Structure 1
Amino acid sequence: MSELDRLRDAMRATERPDAVIDLARVMRDGRRLRTRRRVTGAAAATLAAGLVAVTGVTVDPSGSRDPAPTEPAPPVAVASPSVGVAPTSDGPTPPPTKARGVPGPKPLGQVIDTGIRHGVERRVYYVVAVTVPGVPKVTIGLAAGRRAPDGSVSADILVNDVEGADRSPGFHQIGYDESASTPAVPTFGYFVGPAERITGTAGGRQVEAAVARWSLDKQVAIFWFDPATLAPGVRLDGIVARDSAGRRL
């Protein structure tokens, strides 16, 4: 006989005039039944949470998958414009550290004017010297700044590598402006190699970047995305560089 049946049997005893009701037993069985229902409910909730956690994960028995149409966008390493970024411990990349409109380090080579205006100021990008402890082959970073009407340049964001070499072929760190500050900094970065065209993908659509060469090393292609085409802070899903013949680099 189940606990529920025993409880019902005890309660039916009230229908017999000569019956003696074991009230303690009725209360004990009732508490036991309620406890079991609560435990069962909690277990069901745990199972449901587990199913939600794995929803959308599909395993291919062959272990193969279609190649991504573009290279994943490089990570971002961002610092105050006055100092290079040192390697950090494992974990998510911290949000950008910004110093709006502060005098930046001295530009190396020419300052690139994007033609993007922020009131009377103009958006510019330029290479600066950085030092990353323990990483001797990282000596340059890329700053996003603004040029005032008097010609002075202030910096908003600086990105630089935190490992390897800053002139190794391919894409390097990309700068995203995820703050609510204004004016927002258009997404930017640099590629080392003969890139003539750089395109990214975001939200399933393709966006094209403007490209300019660094005056001190023509292999360094500095690029940025027009904020009207790619809103600042929107992460790229992938990015591709092509040479003058349209070949993917």
Structure 2
Amino acid sequence: MSGLNRRWAITAVAIGAAAIATSGVAMATSSGEPESVVVAAAQPAKPTAGEPTRPPRPGSTSAPAEPEHVFLGEPVKTGVRGPGGELEFRFTKVDIAQLPEIHFGLLAGRTNAQGVFDGIYATNETVGSDKAPGFHGASIAFETGRIPAFGYYAGPAAKITARIGGKTVQAHQADWSVDPSIKVWWFDYSTIEPTDLAAFDAAGKPLPLGNNQFGRG
């Protein structure tokens, strides 16, 4: 997995609660190449939970590195293939003292032909509850062709739309295996930034918007 240059999800502790209150979306970006994770000061990238780690040498007292991400539930596989493999989303554990109502975030990445998942772009809510009705973590497309605009919705959304290039476009969506009321959504990749995110129930009734503004990494 490539290193993630996290902006909010990890550095919130160093930034402080006053800064946290200024944003509703948390972002992390990656160059797509394996590198060290940057959190205030450079430190080695950590393995993801479930991935094998190299045991310490005989006589060594150093403990194994903690995983960078703890995945929650099953991966959301999209069937969309492109540079780096299949587009995939994974929910990850968030545990930050200054964000007591935030317990999970969403990580977008690609899984290659060997089944190795490369986490590229992470997002999580930073204001209020991660399950408040409405949109959370709406993120514009990132890395040419690799990550489309995406996020998640909390509530009974049967259809999610946005305006792209002057047209109303419907997003793809899937339920989270841990909590089906949480919907992962993503659009087909486009270099045009979406606007006017909206959600509707099965009867076509508009649903709460929550934080429907797109963020940038």
- The two structures have a TM-score, normalised by structure 2, of 0.66
Contact 2:9–2:123 (CA<8 Å) still a contact in 1? no
1:186 to 133, 148, 169: 148
Post-superposition shift, 1:135? 1.4
Q: Please provide the CA RMSD for this pair.
A: 3.1
2:106 is the alignment partner of 1:142: yes
Q: Which has the larger radius of gyration?
A: 1
Q: Which residue of 1 aligns with 2:133?
A: 169
- Return the alpha-carbon distance in structure 1 between the equivalents of residues 156 and 11 of structure 2: 27
Q: What residue is the counterpart of 1:80 in the other structure?
A: 6
Structure 1: any 5+ residue segments left out of the alignment?
1-77
Does 2:120 align with 1:156?
Answer: yes
Q: How does 1:115-130 map to 2 (within 5 A)?
A: 115-119=79-83, 121-130=85-94
Encode CA deviations 1:94-114: one digit per residue, 9 max, x unaligned: 996412265651321110111
- Match for 1:196 among 134, 148, 158? 158
- Which runs of structure 2 are paired with 1:61-72 in the superposition (5 Å)? none
Q: Does structure 2 conserve the Cα–Cα contact (< 8 Å) formed by 1:114 and 1:123?
A: yes
Show the counterpart of 2:168: 206
Which residue identity is paired with 1:223?
W
Distance (Å, rounded) in 1 between the aligned partners of 2:8 and 2:134? 26
Amino acid at match of 2:182: V
Superposed structure 1 runs of 4+ greater than 6 Å apart? 89-95
Of Structure 1 and Structure 2, the greater strand share is in: 2
Distance 2:126 2:134 in 1: 15
Which one-letter code corresponds to 1:98 in the other structure?
T
TM-score (norm. length: structure 1): 0.58
Alpha-carbon distance in structure 2 between the residues aligned to 1:196 and 1:165: 22
Q: 1:125-150: per-residue Cα shift (whole Å, max 9, x none)?
A: 11001133411011110000111222
Aligned to 1:224: 186
Stretches of structure 2 that go unaligned for 5 or more consecutive residues are 35-46, 49-68, 208-217
Determine which structure has greater relative contact order: mean sequence separation of CA pairs < 8 Å that are 6+ residues apart, divided by chain length.
2
Identity %: 29
